[in-house]
A = this chain, B = another copy of it.
Amino acid sequence: MITEEVGKRIRELRNKTGLSQEKFAAKIGMDRTYFASIELGKRNVALKNIEKIANGLDVPLSDLFKGI
C-alpha cells in the first residue's frame, strides 16, 4: 500500500538524520504519535504534511517517492 511504502521511505530518511521520531516530530512541529503513525503507513497523509516532512528531512519532495 502506498501509505506503507511512503512511511518506510520517510523512516529510512529520518533514520539517516540521526533524529528519533520524537525529536524529528518536534522539529517539524508535528504531534509525535501522528508522525509515528505516518511512518507505520497508517495515515493517508496529505500534501501540506508531506511537504513539512520533506522540509524537515531536507530533501526535495520527489526524494520521498523515489523508487515507489
Contacts and interface: CB of A to CB of B under 8 A. Distances in A.
A62 B68 contact: yes
Give the oligomeric copy count: 2
Nearest to A51: B2
Contact of A65 (B3, B45, B61): B61
Contact of A68 (B48, B61, B66): B61
Q: Interface size for chain A: under 10, 10 to 19, 20 to 34, or 35 or more residues?
A: 10 to 19
Interface in A20-63: 44-48, 50-51, 60-63
Interface of A: 2-3, 6, 44-48, 50-51, 60-68
Given A60-B65, A62-B68, A64-B65, 8 more contacts: A2-B50, A3-B47, A45-B46, A46-B46, A60-B68, A61-B68, A62-B62, A65-B65
